[in-house]
Amino acid sequence: MINKIKTILRRMTPLFILLGFIIAAQLLISTKEAPEQKADEVPVPIVDVTQVQVQTVSLNLPSYGIVSPKYKTQLVTEVQGRMLSISNNFVAGGVVKKGDELAVIEPSDYEADLMQAQASLAKAKAALEEERAKGEVAKNDWKGYDGGIPPELGLRLPQLKQEQANVKFQQAALARAQRNLERTVIRAPFDGIIKARNVDLGQYVTLGTNLGELYDTRIAEVRLPLSNSDLAYLESVENPDTDVILSADLAGKTITWQGQIVRSEGVIDAENRMVYLVAEVKDPYLRGNRNEGQLPLKYGTFVTAIIKGRTVEGIVKLPRHLVRDNRVTIVNSDNSIELRQVNVVKSDLDNVYIKDSLVDGERISLTNLTNIEDGQVVKVLGEDANSSQDSDTDNSDTSEEQLASAGVQ
């Protein structure tokens, strides 16, 4: 019996050990302390800000265009003949003054025509004097006539009128011969620059032959396109007399020229739906007065333009990237965020102009915040650096006092 009990106990020993482990585990679990719960700390965004400045600005209008001469002409022949000589300045790029001789057509035929016209006029004048003398003789012959008024034919009045008309005809022929002789010399009609020359020495030209093209250098023009809505920013739409600054990149430098808007073309272009203003620049090639370092405004140059617009008060000028969907991010005095809708009156490539939406001195975030909401608290860069250091010092002192009162050395 005893052996049987020992056998049973030996076999039950593993169960007793396993049961002991289970009871010990239950005791340990029941006496385990719960871990300290801490709320997740959400980091406060740090933003950089700028203060709003309300100012009076000119709502300038950007545009662009190509410089062209106000006047240009085709030099054509009014007489025919062989090209006798061509001036050295009559080449592409040659600069000429008004009245300069550009080319000469063989004048011998026209000199002969002039001499013939002079001779014909002299002959007509002689015939007129002879007819006047005959008229005086006829008048004396009719003095004793008692039959009334002498007939005009008897006084040779029709013959006199015929000779007078012949003199006028010959005078006109002489004037025409003189003009034709003068037209054998091709002269510049105004100060300009030769765009092209189409004839050579010895070439035979006929009436209307195109000799070349001349560009006026006194005044340059630039056609500047604007949208129809942009015209509202001009002082006057009907008479847009305002300043314009033209600029172009030359030799790695930005060169500017001062111009004047002189007129509007007054119609909307059917292709691009734009209205064109015309700007003028006087003496673009600096032929009259040239300052040191100043460069000429050559025809064909592509220029950008800034047209002076209306002056408006109460405008806030902000970089374009700070305004999204006509809203700006305001940082209030308590460092809370406000997404404010603003009134954008004008924008360009770089800036946005806002009116009646912001107050002078308000702060606008320069930092691009994603998923930002109204009322969210932020930290302004550089604003609380000193206060946070003082707060850290106070917390450290408090901790030391608590440890001392608890008897911790």
Burial class of residue 61 (count of CB atoms within 10 Å of its CB; 0-12, 13-18, 19+): buried
Q: Which residue has the tokens 């008309």?
A: 165
Contact 238, 275 (CB under 8 A): no
Structure tokens at 298: 């050559």
Mean pLDDT of 48-67: 90
Mean pLDDT of 74-94: 94
8-state DSSP, 257: E
| CATH code, residues 312-380 | 2.40.420
Which of left, alpha, beta for 41 (phi over 0: left; psi -120 to 50: alpha)? beta
**Contacts from 327-331 at CB under 8 Å and sequence distance 24+?**
328/354, 328/358, 328/364, 329/364, 329/365, 329/369, 329/372, 330/362, 330/363, 330/364, 330/365, 331/47, 331/49, 331/363, 331/364, 331/365, 331/378, 331/380
Could you please state the CATH topology (level 3) that the domain comprising 218-309 is classified under.
Answer: Elongation Factor Tu (Ef-tu); domain 3 (2.40.30)
Contact 304, 247 (CB under 8 A): yes
Structure tokens at 129: 């004097």
Task: Tell me the per-residue pLDDT of 218-231, one tens digit each, with 9 for 90 and over.
Answer: 999 999 999 888 88
Q: Who contacts 182 (Cβ-Cβ below 8 Å, separation ≥6)?
A: none
Please give the pLDDT value at position 268. 86
Q: What is the pLDDT confidence band of residue 60, given thresholds at 50, 70 and 90?
A: confident
| CATH code, residues 73-214 | 2.40.50.100
Please give the pLDDT value at position 33. 67
Structure tokens at 144: 């004793």
- Output b/e per residue, 363-377; b: 16+ Cβ within 10 A: bbbeeeeeebeeebe
Mean pLDDT of 255-276: 89
Q: What is the pLDDT confidence band of residue 87, given thresholds at 50, 70 and 90?
A: very high
- Output b/e per residue, 276-295; b: 16+ Cβ within 10 A: bbbbbbebbbeeeeeeeeee
Mean pLDDT of 239-245: 83
Please give the pLDDT value at position 110. 94
Task: Tell me the per-residue pLDDT of 17-29, one tens digit each, with 9 for 90 and over.
Answer: 777 778 877 777 7
Q: What is the pLDDT confidence band of residue 57, given thresholds at 50, 70 and 90?
A: confident
Kindly state the greatest CA–CA separation across the chain.
208
Ordered by start, the domain boundaries in the chain are: 73-214, 218-309, 312-380
- Asked if pLDDT for residue 15 goes beyond 80, the answer is no
What's this model's pTM, rounded to 2 decimal places?
0.67
